[in-house]
Amino acid sequence: MLPDSSGHFGIYGGKFVPETLMPALAELEEVYSKAKADPSFKEEFEYYLTKYVGRPTPLYFAGRLTKHLKGARIYLKREDLCHTGAHKINNTIGQAILTKRMGKHRVIAETGAGQHGVATATVAAMFGLECEIYMGTEDMARQSLNVFRMKLLGARVTPVDHGSRTLKDAINEAMRDWTTHVRTTHYVLGSVLGAHPYPMMVRDFQSVIGREARGQIFEAEGRLPDCLVACVGGGSNAIGLFYPFMDDPGVRMVGVEAGGLGIRTGRHAARFATGSAGIFQGTKTYLLQDRDGQVMVTHSVSAGLDYSAVGPEHSYYKDLKRVDYTYVTDKEALKAFSLLSEIEGIMPALESAHAIAYTMKLAPSLPGDRVIIVNLSGRGDKDVQHVSEIIGDR
Amino acid sequence: MGRIGETFKRLRNQGKKALITYIMAGDPDLSATEALISTIEQAGGDILELGVPFSDPVADGPAIQRASERALQSKTTLRKVLALVKKARKDGAAIPVIIMTYYNIIFQYGIARFSKDAASSGVDGAIIPDLPPEEAADFIKYARSSGLDTIFLLAPTSTGERIKRIASSSTGFIYYVSMTGITGARLRNLSEIREKIPGIRQHTDLPVAVGFGISNEDDAKRIAKWADGVIIGSALVKLIEANRGRRLLLPKVAGFIRAMKGAIG
């Protein structure tokens, strides 16, 4: 079972943080492993997933999209229907319960698109925890609706105005806050990133997506899917869908990264296309960096995918070739955003639109008896203003 | 025993404490760093930590973050910093030099290659704040074989078990982080430092130096009573920031070093 006891996925993962945080990681690991073995934790987690998040989310057969693409049958795992509008809340519910168990009263989080920030602020409100969210100023500009939502939920949103002013800088600042307030504060990391036990713990919380999808596709089709498709920023929605299918060798998995303006322009976030192994923000993983080891600035139309590294477990699957990683450009994602809105009445988050965009290429290449599940990880309401600025009012 | 160990031994015999100073190499450029190294040594600095910039310095506060940005602007790389140390040694610098940077910089350079090149350039040790001993087996192996000291950090949150592990992985000295926080933060609770140091000494005979947030002579003086060395980083980096490109830079730095050295005795 991965990760191993020291938090490694093959050569990736591990714990690369300042000493001040090492005891906090050990505490989190201990509290989490006790919780995992405790039926009352599972009960509480599932209670909130059902009654508060609204799970299970539907697995929806996208009939019009299937017909339009003239190929494989396409199912959408509707994480966009979760409370707060994205899969992120599956993880924040789990971590909020752990925060209480650790006796901590304050949570902090980073956010890129704002979905994880909203999900953290939401559970903090519900559990009565103090909450501070770090967000890059560039992301605040393109996701202003989510900034306001977090404030309405009672969280403090702290702008991060250095570096690339995006997700990676928000994580740096959250780590600095955590180092300073580690005795009272839990860091609710929002993806399968960072030091052990985060990649494992967040994967476990998000695996509810794949477990449900597995049961639902058997119900709908009486068999396993042929392919799973999900976008990969840090990679939590992708791991959440993929993980429960890992032992099914016939199920192909595709992770879709942000190709930005195109790989050749250098303005993208396709870590697996041009990155290499490095150590960044607590973990060893694929990283976009220069030859001296400086982390490169990324670009994507989608704030949630605009990140220089990727979850270490994905790096492991990449080398193992268990998961295929590809990318689509900003332009393709925007086209998918419009298409899904027009023919299914579902506005995907720009992150999830990357998975739809790849599906638009994949589905027509497959016969009509094949089955694809796409993780529709979030809804696009938050992106409407940003998209209208780009494509204009048509 | 290397230069670092010998320095502590000499100071101990004289009943003195070590003044360890941190500057960011390449801030604002490498020729300024070259002049600063010799100024610091002549003014009484006992050990020098030379920062190598990284794009994402998570353990550092605003002062060292800004210094990193300036050093990256001036295109400072690990290779150039090692060459600078080599030149300084040739020009007679005798002060022990420690490279302080984040692990990815060393990982990309190559751990084995770094250990070899650093030692042959006259570097005496390395501090890597985001590399705990758990992940440092390779680094320790290659550093030992090249004769580089591996200086690990201890924090107020470190448990007894971790103190033991870190003490057994360290050579040269142990870097005790004065507070839960980042470099340059305000030091509020000195008594916690006094209480923690005996617990560290139970596990090691290595010298213990204290850093993070020490910015004035009073704090330095009090901490020097309990520790073997006092590490000054952000306060010096700020002084360099304020006076960079000015003729007063070196005299100001020399005055600051002399005052700190005077305070810790």
pLDDT digits (tens, 9 = 90+) for A126-142: 999 999 999 999 999 88
Q: Smallest Cβ distance to A16: which of B54, B78, B131? A: B131
Contact B180 A175 (CB under 8 A): no
Long-range contacts from A141-144, C-beta under 8 angstroms, 24+ separation: A142/A303, A142/A386, A143/A113, A143/A114, A143/A303, A143/A382, A143/A383, A143/A386, A144/A385
Closest C-alpha among A18, A72, A82 to residue A49: A82
Over residues B110-123, mean pLDDT: 98
Query: Measured between alpha carbons, how far is A90 from B91 in angstroms, rounded to an integer?
Result: 61
pLDDT (mean) for A381-393: 88
In single-letter form, the type of residue at position A119 comes to A
* pLDDT band with cut points at 50, 70 and 90 for residue A146: very high
Q: How many residues can be counted in chain A?
A: 394
Distance from the Cα of B87 to chain A's closest Cα (Å) equals: 21
Of B265, B264, B201, B211, whose CA–CA distance to B237 is shortest?
Answer: B211
Q: Please tell me which of the candidates A19, A180, A279 has its beta carbon nearest to residue B154.
A: A19
Q: Strand B97-100 relative to strand B47-51: parallel, antiparallel, unpaired? A: parallel
**A158 touching chain B per CB within 8 A:** no
**3-class DSSP assignment, residue B100:** strand
Q: Among partner residues A15, A282, A293, which is closest to B134 by beta-carbon distance?
A: A15
Query: Are B178 and A43 spatial neighbours (Cβ–Cβ below 8 Å)?
Result: no
Gap from B69 CA to chain A (nearest CA, Å): 9
* Beta carbons of B56 and A18 less than 8 Å apart: no
Between CA B46 and CA B150 the distance in angstroms is 18
Binned at pLDDT 50, 70 and 90, residue A394 comes out as low
Who contacts A386 (Cβ-Cβ below 8 Å, separation ≥6)? A142, A143, A301, A350
The model's pLDDT over A318-371, given as tens digits with 9 standing for 90+, comes to 999 999 999 999 999 999 999 999 999 999 999 999 999 999 999 999 999 999
Question: Looking at residue A375, what is its pLDDT?
Answer: 98
How many of the other CB atoms lie within 10 Å of CB of B66? 17
pLDDT digits (tens, 9 = 90+) for B38-75: 999 999 999 999 999 999 999 999 999 999 999 999 99
What is the tally of helices (H) and strands (E) in chain A? 16, 14
Phi and psi of A159, rounded to 5°? -70, 140
Share of chain B above pLDDT 70, in %: 100
**E-strand spans in A31-123?**
59-61, 73-78, 106-111
**Residue of A234, A236, A323, A214 whose CA lies nearest to A283:** A234
- CA distance linking residue B185 with residue A380, whole number of Å: 40
The answer for residues whose C-beta is within 8 angstroms of residue B256's C-beta and 6 or more apart is B235, B236, B239
Q: Which residues pair with B24 in a beta bridge?
A: B51
Q: Does A265 reach chain B within 8 Å, measured CB to CB?
A: no
Contact assessment for residue A261 and residue A267, using Cβ atoms and an 8 Å cutoff = yes
Which one of A292, A298, A308 makes the best mutation probe of the B interface by having the most chain B beta carbons within 10 Å?
A: A292
Which residues of B are known catalytic residues? 49, 60
Which one of A5, A22, A178, A286 would you mutate to disrupt binding with B, by most B Cβ within 10 Å of its Cβ? Answer: A22
pLDDT at residue A2 is higher than 70: yes
Q: Please say whether the dihedral angle defined by the alpha carbons of residues A238, A239, A242 and A244, taken in this order, is positive or negative.
A: negative
Closest Cα in chain B to A12? B135
Top pLDDT among B17 and A391 is at B17
pLDDT above 90 covers what percent of chain B?
98
Mean pLDDT of A365-379: 98
Best residue in B52, B54, B55 to probe A by mutation, most A CBs within 10 Å? B55
| Cβ-based neighbours of A112, under 8 Å, separated by 6 or more | A135, A136, A139, A166, A167, A170, A233, A303, A304, A305, A306, A307
Whether the per-residue pLDDT at A36 is higher than 80: the answer is: yes
Query: Which neighbouring-strand residues pair with B250?
Result: none
Q: Given the DSSP bridges, would you call strands B18-24 and B229-232 parallel, antiparallel or unpaired? A: parallel
Residues A84-103 have pLDDT tens digits of: 999 999 999 999 999 999 99
pLDDT tens-place string over residues B202-233? 999 999 999 999 999 999 999 999 999 999 99
Q: How far is B217 from chain A (nearest CA, A)?
A: 24
Chain mean position to CA A389: 25
CA gap A55, B51 in Å, rounded:
50
Q: What does DSSP assign to residue A321?
A: T
Query: In Å, what is the CA distance from B124 to each residue of A136, A176, A309, A338, B91?
Result: 39, 29, 32, 60, 17
Q: Which residue of B has its CA nearest to A180?
A: B181
From the list B72, B135, B177, the residue facing A15 with the nearest CB is B135
pLDDT tens digits for B65-97? 999 999 999 999 999 999 999 999 999 999 999
Contact B130 A182 (CB under 8 A): no
Question: Quick one: which of B44, B45, B64 has its CA closest to B55?
Answer: B64
When pLDDT is averaged across residues B8-19 and rounded to a whole number, the result is 98
Instruction: Give A281's contacts in chain B (Cβ within 8 Å).
Output: 56, 58
Say whether the ipTM exceeds 0.85: yes
Q: Which residues of A touch B129 (CB under 8 A)?
A: 18-19
Instruction: Report the pLDDT value the prediction gives residue A54, as an integer from 0 to 100.
Output: 98
Separation between Cα atoms, residue B47 and residue B43, nearest integer Å: 12
- B→A interface, C-beta within 8 Å: 54-59, 61, 65, 69, 72, 77-78, 102-109, 129-132, 134-135, 152-159, 162, 166, 177, 180-182, 185
Closest CA to B99 of B191, B176, B33: B33
User: pLDDT category, A76, cuts 50, 70, 90?
Assistant: very high
CA atoms of B34 and A73, how far apart (whole Å):
66
Which chain A positions have a beta carbon within 8 Å of B55's beta carbon? 163, 294-295
CA dihedral B131, B132, B133, B137 (to 10 degrees): -30
CB contact (8 A) between residue A181 and residue B180 = yes
**pLDDT at position A392:** 80
Distance CA A352, CA A304 (A): 10
Percentage of chain A surpassing pLDDT 90? 94
Rg over alpha carbons for chain B, rounded to the nearest Å, is 17
- Is residue B100 within 8 A of residue B49, CB to CB? The reply is yes
- Specify whether the CB–CB gap between A311 and A234 falls below 8 A: yes
Interfacial A residues in 169-228 facing B (CB < 8 Å): 169, 172, 175-176, 179-183
Percent of chain A with pLDDT over 70: 99
Checking phi first, is residue A280 left (phi over 0); if not, alpha (psi -120 to 50) or beta?
beta
Whether residue A110 contacts residue A173, with contact meaning beta carbons closer than 8 Å, is answered with: yes
A291 close contact with B: CB closer than 8 A: yes
Instruction: Quickly state the pLDDT bin for A113 (edges 50, 70, 90).
Output: confident
Angstroms from A302 CA to nearest CA on chain B: 22
| Nearest chain B CA: its distance from A124 CA (Å) | 24
Task: Tell me what the pLDDT averaged over chain B comes to.
Answer: 97
Q: Phi and psi at residue B232, in whole multiples of 5°?
A: -115, 120
With bands split at pLDDT 50, 70 and 90, how would you rate the model's confidence at A393? low
Give the strands of the sheet with A324-328, arranged side by side.
A59-61, A73-78, A371-376, A227-231, A252-258, A324-328
Q: What is the pLDDT of residue A34?
A: 98
pTM for the full predicted model:
0.97
B20 three-state secondary structure: strand
pLDDT value for A143: 87
Residues of B in contact with A280 (CB under 8 A): 56, 104
CA closest to B108 among chain A residues: A293
- Mean pLDDT to the nearest integer, A168-173: 95
